[in-house]
Amino acid sequence: MTEEVYKLYKESLPDIVRSEEIVKKILNDEDNHIITHRDHGRPVGVSVINGNTIYLLCVDRSCQNRGIGDDLLKQTENHIASAGHKKITLGAGKEYIMPGVPMDKGAHVFFKKRGYIHSWGDCGCVDMDQMLENYDYNELSIGDTINGITYRWATVNDLSSITECVSDADEGFVKYYLDKQIYEKGSCSPVLIAEKDNEVPGVIMVGIKTGYEDTGTLNCLATAHKHRNKGIATTLVRLGTKHLKDIGLSKSFLGYTYTEIVSMYSRVGYKVCMEYFMGEKEL
């Protein structure tokens, strides 16, 4: 089943950047409920449900506009309602294959017509990327001190200061920084910090995108509230991006990013490559 669903997903949504390993792990979650629509034994439509979240609902392009999506959604909503849930979320729940519904080909319109609303208010969700060939911030280096703030790689000894910073900035990110392996020498996702007077005002994870050998990524950028609007986040992104180029990667990708900070990333050369409808519906 997993191979069939993954194949349909990749054919239907080829522009989603998520590694095969991660997607298959999510599809194999024993808590999933999977509904398929088959044509001569071949799956042409699928809905993957976990709790009250629809991880994936897609229909083979050759079979669209035949009511398959409508039928899958009705079955999905009935299943979620019968489990006692009062709300349906699209995309991100316990895990995610994609944060929400990709808007590049108008799939979000299908859900909006059926009562789903954007749940983030005025804020949106996007992916961003940039090619690194022409990226050039040679005046900056990791280890530099700028306006009294030193930018360096973190060690596990910095964990308590990092946790304090991240807790203040975005509590949801804390769990990712608690993994002590990322602070070890040779980590594939090292942590870059800003440090001033034995305090960590800002932090970001820098590494190779899982499943994409030529692509790097920046994750979980956090700046403590009292240190915002001082250029710390921008400098962390510039240094992190420069590191990705320096280790020979050709592209940098930022996933699941808030539109509130798109302008900051844009100053460092990133462009929006996918926008998501963060849909939900009350039952």
Q: What's the pLDDT tens digit per position in 113-122?
A: 999 999 999 9
Q: What is the pLDDT of residue 65?
A: 86
Q: What percent of the chain has pLDDT over 70?
A: 100
Tell me the average pLDDT of the chain. Answer: 95
The pLDDT of residue 279 is above 90: yes
Reported as a single tens digit per residue, the pLDDT across 59-97 is 998 888 889 999 999 999 999 999 999 999 999 999 999
Question: Which pLDDT does position 115 carry in this prediction?
Answer: 97
Exposed e or buried b for every residue in 60-78, given b needs 16+ CB within 10 A?
A: beeeeeeebbeebbeebbe
- Of 144, 133, 134, 127, give the one whose Cα is nearest residue 239: 144
CA atoms within 13 A on the CB side of 223: 16
Taking the C-alpha atoms of residue 191 and residue 212, their distance in angstroms, rounded to an integer, is 20
pLDDT at 281: 98
Pairing of strands 145-146, 149-153: antiparallel
- The model's confidence at residue 213, banded by pLDDT at 50, 70 and 90, is confident
| CB burial readout 127-156, b (16+ within 10 A) else e | bbbbebeebeeeeeebeeeeeebebbbbee
From 135, 142, 183, 140, select the one nearest 159 (Cα to Cα).
183
The pLDDT of residue 41 is: 85
Domain 2-121+278-282 homologous superfamily, CATH: Gcn5-related N-acetyltransferase (GNAT) (3.40.630.30)
**Averaged pLDDT, 103-121:** 95
Q: Do 2-121+278-282 and 134-249 fold alike per CATH?
A: yes
Highest CATH level, class, for 134-249: alpha beta
- pLDDT-derived band at 140, boundaries 50, 70, 90: confident
Residue 211 has pLDDT above 90, yes or no: no
pLDDT of residue 90: 98
For residue 210, pLDDT over 90 is answered with no
Q: How high is the pLDDT of residue 190?
A: 95
Band of residue 137 on the pLDDT scale cut at 50, 70, 90: confident
pLDDT digits (tens, 9 = 90+) for 144-186: 999 999 999 999 999 999 999 999 999 999 999 999 999 998 8
pLDDT tens for 31-53 read 999 999 998 888 999 999 999 99
Report domain extents, the chain: 2-121+278-282, 134-249
For residue 199, pLDDT over 80 is answered with yes
